[in-house]
Structure 1
């Protein structure tokens, strides 16, 4: 499933080809993904794309008449191609540009979304989201305050988008290992100093993954079709039964909040 780094990599990949360009037409081949695709997306035709932003794992394609909001779901991907290239299986939405290119959305599982919002309209799906993890608003003090009296496992806590957005399963396991914090610990038990380390590690892991083009496990590829190379640098995720890269002990796997979690019982306390 594309997580924040993969969505950010997608944004960086498509922006140079779309921002400042005019939309020629939009073609919707599948009327419903996770939700119905609104006919109002047609308003983009003839409009200049002013900017493409990211909020959490959503992309916001901004025009003067409104904003298209895109979510990649479990298996969605975006490619910028020559418009003459015929669509393939699972290519559900095409955004044709006047410059002869097309932004093509592919989604085998159809769990993604294309939505439309009028100027000044607040997207309901973005309500109640926590701060961006790479922003100055995401601090140890903020997390320590949010975690007071919270018995939930710290891994579950940092994956809750109400606390901080975009720390998905892969990056939660990797960040907790880098911070040497056991993922099963109650969130309230972390000291301010531990939160300081964990916040720094989350920022570092996410930023490094973005530089590496994200993580390709099954479904994700970059806009140019290349895989995300961060998968080659995973320390614990998916490494159950292998040796810990730090101490050599066996990496364990455990379900936490119904998500597979990977950690070292010796290094993480």
Structure 2
């Protein structure tokens, strides 16, 4: 499933083409993805101008001139694609996509037309239209904690959130009410960089370690975004390219391989926590 860096990569890829563009020729090719498309979805998007594209946790939020916000969650295999038309116009029909493409539209930015497609082989993604002034109160968002790259996220926040918490710190960091958007890959990497065992109860981690953890969470996410995210199986950016951060993993997916910490003789181990694989160095992460 795309995690925060992958969704942010998609947002940055869509922004130059869609912000300020007017949508037209919107076509929805099936009634649902994970959930049904909103009622009259195509008609409500037709003629709307995209004012801004934001990201909240693992959601994309396209703010529209109609007063609504178009919400998209990529699920496991959701993918936006862009196909520019160098002549500035599409003759006849908009070019067609593959069999798993369920949504298509044209975006007109100052006469430059771009075909926007959304494909989703497993259909675990979903889309919604919510009045913009009601987004924060919507059930998809009203429970979310601070953004890990935002000003509200810090060591102090983790110290307060984890006080007295007996659950292990790995699973605690995946709790979206504590930190919004963190996923399995980047939690493993941040804990390794911080020297914290994923088995430790969150409330037992010292304040200095939590301060360092907050810093390393930011660093690992920034590093991943600069690399275009991680492509393990399905993820691709809007141009169809892959992310490259998977080549920089210190622990994730490296079970049985040597620890990369200098002078460490440990071997990366894999355990299961909360139904998900955790990778760590038992020697470095005490």
Residue equivalent to 1:46:
47
Q: How far does residue 191 in structure 1 lie from its aligned partner after superposition?
A: 1.1
Cα displacement string for residues 75-114 of structure 1 (whole angstroms, at most 9, x for unaligned residues): 1111111464321021111122233212211111100011
**1:3 — aligned with what?**
3
Cα offset, 1:226, TM superposition: 1.1
1:151-179 Cα offsets, whole Å, 9 max, x none, are 11101111110000111000000000000
In 1, Cα distance between equivalents of 2:242 and 2:250? 18
Q: Is the 8 A contact 2:57 2:182 kept in 1?
A: no
Matched residue, 1:183: 198
Structure 2 equivalent of residue 254 of structure 1: 271
Q: How does 1:46-195 map to 2 (within 5 A)?
A: 46-65=47-66, 66-82=68-84, 84-98=94-108, 99-122=112-135, 123-195=138-210
Which stretches in structure 1 are left out of the alignment for 5+ residues?
none
SS, match of residue 125 in structure 1: coil
Of 195, 213, 233, 1:198 maps to: 213
Structure 2 residue 27 is the aligned partner of structure 1 residue 24:
no
- Match of residue 233 from structure 1: 248
CA distance in 2, matches of 1:193, 1:120: 39
Partners of 1:219 and 1:193 lie apart in 2 by 37
Question: Hey, what's the Cα distance between the residues in 2 that align with 1:119 and 1:202?
Answer: 30
Q: What is the SS of the residue equivalent to 2:190?
A: helix
> What's the secondary structure of 1:124's corresponding residue?
coil
Query: Residue 215 of structure 1 aligns with which residue?
Result: 230
Please report how far the alpha carbon of residue 196 of structure 1 lies from its aligned counterpart in structure 2 after TM superposition: 0.5
8 A Cα contact 1:5 1:213, kept in partner? yes
Per-residue deviation, 1:255: 0.2
Aligned counterpart, 2:37? 37
Task: Could you list the structure 1 runs, at least 4 aligned residues long, displaced by more than 4 angstroms after superposition.
Answer: none
Distance in 1 between the 2:206 and 2:265 partners? 27
Structure 2 segments unaligned to the other structure (5+ residues): 85-89
Please tell me whether the aligned partners of residues 40 and 116 of structure 1 are also in contact (alpha carbons under 8 angstroms).
Answer: no
Distance (Å, rounded) in 2 between the aligned partners of 1:189 and 1:34: 39
Name whichever of 87-96 and 126-135 sits farther off.
87-96
**Distance in 2 of aligned mates of 1:169 and 1:103:** 29
Please report the RMSD computed on the Cα atoms of aligned residues, expressed in angstroms.
1.1
Q: How many residue pairs are counted as aligned between the two chains?
A: 269
